[in-house]
Amino acid sequence: MMELGYLNQGQPSRGTTPLVTLPLLLSTLVFFSTFTHAFSSSVFPELNPIKPRHSRLLRSAVQRETPTSQLSELWSPLESQGWKPYVESNKPTALPEKSEGYIQVFLDGGLNQQKMGICDAVAVAKILNATLVIPYLELNPVWRDSSSFMDIFDVDHFIDVLKDDISIVKELPKEFAWSTREYYGLAIRETRIKAAPVHASAYWYLENVLPVLQSYGIAAISPFSHRLSFDNLPVDIQHLRCKVNFQALTFVSHIRTLGDALISRLRYPQGSAEEMGFNYLQEVTGAGARKNAGKFVVLHLRFDKDMAAHSACDFGGGKAEKLALAKYRQVIWQGRVLNSQFTDEELRSQGRCPMTPEEVGLLLAAMGFDNSTRLYLASHKVYGGEARISTLRELFPRMEDKKSLASSEERSEIKGKASLLAALDYYVGLHSDIFISASPGNMHNALVGHRTYLNLKTIRPNMALMGQLFLNKTIEWSEFQDAVVEGHQNRQGEPRLRKPKQSIYTYPAPDCMCQA
């Protein structure tokens, strides 16, 4: 037997340090291995291997064959729905000679929530006849991104597009330089409006903010997210919000250029990201002359830990994952998650569980996308990492993302900046042949609305249907496929008229659109 140090049971020779016996060493190693696995399972459950939850469906989906006729229909552009973007009169309206003062807004949330807040800020400035200061973007507590408005959006384009609607300044004049985020964080200030109700009316602003403007020449509104109603506003104010959202807010040039390069690489596959180097400006310039462009789908896979925990659903990660998500809910929301009162089956049957990467893959496969589909994965961070994504990759081996399509040098300007990463995904998603989001959220809502405005194909998953289908553990692939296709026939980008209290940024008809 091979000896490991001093292994016999006798006395050690002089000058030799006695070592543990082999049985003791082996038992120690077993204990350490067990402890390490238990520790990583409880503290880092996302590192655990994850078994497919729908193995029967997955086996059939991997072997699927899609008829050419179905593929052709699937990739065909969305037919005209009889709606077109509202186009304002070419006759410019003169701005009032005197502004009532300066409006500042402080916007929290992620990129798309901030975008909506910017649109509302322009509308409020118009209502009050105020000069808008370029909105201040709060440091996001989740993503820790300190990117400013000018880091994300083309500020000169923003000001130019809106120059006939409101007055906008990049910064306050010297006499108001004291009005900063830090100033309002130290104490109660008379120029800060802190009590703006959610979905406040235009009348509320005239009654409560205009007097502050007239008294001090400035008013700072914080918090501001969702602080303007979607209903009972003048038509010109609604049209202005649409103009900001769909025309004035464009990303900075380096985001657009890198986005165009990724789109080019999805349509015209070539070498690896590292081989591409830093020549994407030249690549994009020459891409327009090429023919036979391929098509691609953008999948917004909103499956991060925050979303998974808040849903209170079971995602197949075992007891360790359940405990970890329950602890996360308790720490972040102190248990204030209404979904946790329901069982997983109840939540799924009501469509209140976000789909896992595996489930989204099965949905796409059932709709007819084959394994040659170019799929771009738009996601900040997937809970469970590659262990979760592996089944989706098995179904769609030509799946790409920012890292696979762009070199580290190309990504250097956006690395670690969640808002710029999201902006890049938004840009690619807007220009894709088909966009699909795994579950509702701000990016889903924003892109669904923007693509509806442009009449682009956008698949909206029927969450209740998918939840019920996935609960059926005996369903055959053919039955599953038929149900998925039938359940999504009218969920591919057709405009839905906005109902009261619904967002014009998600439902642009009829406020932002008119019938052709």
For the segment 405-462, what is each residue's pLDDT rounded down to a tens digit? 999 999 999 998 999 999 999 999 999 999 999 888 899 999 999 999 999 999 999 9
Does residue 123 contact residue 228 with C-beta atoms inside 8 Å?
Answer: yes
pTM higher than the cut 0.85: yes
How far apart CA 186 and CA 192 sit, in angstroms, is 12
Residue 133 sits in the same domain as residue 206: yes
In the chain, pLDDT over 90 holds for what percent of residues?
Answer: 70
Tell me if 259 is assigned to some domain. yes
229 and 142 share one domain: yes
**Which residue would you say has higher pLDDT here, 285 or 480?**
480
Q: Decide if 136 contacts 107 (C-beta within 8 A).
A: yes
Nearest by Cα to 42 from 283, 334, 317: 317
One domain, residues 474 and 375: yes
Which of 201, 227, 248 is where one domain is finished?
248
For residue 149, give the nearest of 101, 99, 105, 102 by alpha carbon.
105
Residue 502 has pLDDT above 70, yes or no: yes
Sorted by sequence, the CB contacts under 8 Å of residue 289 that are 6+ apart come out as none
For 425, residues 6+ apart whose C-beta sits below 8 A from its C-beta are 298, 300, 378, 379, 402, 443
- pLDDT-derived band at 15, boundaries 50, 70, 90: very low
CA distance 351 to 467: 6
d(C-alpha 371, C-alpha 434), whole Å: 16
User: Residue 242 in 3-state DSSP?
Assistant: helix
Domain assignment of residue 29, yes or no? no
Structure tokens at 170: 């990049």
- Are 364 and 487 part of one and the same domain? yes
Q: Is pLDDT larger for residue 234 or for residue 2? A: 234
- pLDDT at residue 224 tops 50: yes
Residues 244 and 256 in one domain: no
Q: Are residues 299 and 448 in the same domain?
A: yes
Residue 321 lies inside a defined structural domain of this protein: no
What is the arithmetic mean of pLDDT over 4-11?
38
Residues 232 and 154 in one domain: yes
115 and 158 share one domain: yes
Domain boundary among 184, 215, 248: 248
What pLDDT shows up at residue 233? 96
Domain match, 200 and 268 both: no
Same domain, 387 and 416: yes
Examine residue 477 and state whether it is found in any structural domain, yes or no.
Answer: yes
Tokens 């194909």 sit on residue: 457
Q: Averaged over 49-56, what is the pLDDT? A: 87
Residue 27 scores a pLDDT above 80: no
- 514: number of CA atoms within 13 Å, CB side? 6
Residue 12 lies in a domain: no
260 and 170 in a single domain? The answer is no
The answer to whether the beta carbons of residues 113 and 442 sit under 8 Å apart is yes
Residue 65: how many CB atoms within 10 A of its CB? 6
For residues 24 and 5, the answer to whether their CB atoms sit within 8 Å is no
Written as one string, the DSSP assignment of 195-233 is -PPTT--HHHHHHHTHHHHHHHSEEEE-S-TT-S-SSS-
Mean pLDDT over 118-124 rounds to 98
Q: Are 47 and 40 in contact (CB under 8 A)?
A: yes
Decide: helix, strand or coil at residue 84.
Answer: strand
Domain tally for the chain? Answer: 2
Residue 272 has pLDDT above 80, yes or no: no
Handedness of CA 470, 471, 474, 480 (dihedral sign): negative
In a domain, 93, yes or no: no
The string of DSSP letters for 5-65 reads: SS-SSSPPPTT------HHHHHHHHHHHHHHHHHHHHHH-GGGS----S-HHHHHHHHT--
Q: What is the DSSP string of 376-403?
A: EEE-S--TTTHHHHHHHHHH-TTEE-HH
The CA-CA-CA angle for residues 447, 73, 439, to 5°, reads 30
Residue 464's domain comprises 55-80+252-303+354-515
Mean pLDDT of 496-505: 96
Mean pLDDT calculated for residue range 478-502: 95
Q: Which residue, 190, 183, 187, is CA-closest to 216? A: 190
What average pLDDT does the chain have?
Answer: 87
How many angstroms separate the Cα of 47 from the Cα of each of 44, 83, 451? Answer: 6, 48, 36
> Span 369-386, mean pLDDT?
91
Establish if 405 belongs to a structural domain: yes
Within a domain: 198: yes
Average pLDDT over residues 181-210: 96
Q: What angle do CA 479, 465, 463 make, to 5 degrees?
A: 135
Residue where a domain terminates, one of 248, 280, 315: 248
Residue 202 and residue 60 in one domain: no
Counted residue by residue, the chain has a size of 516
The first and second tokens of residue 411, run together, are 């990504």
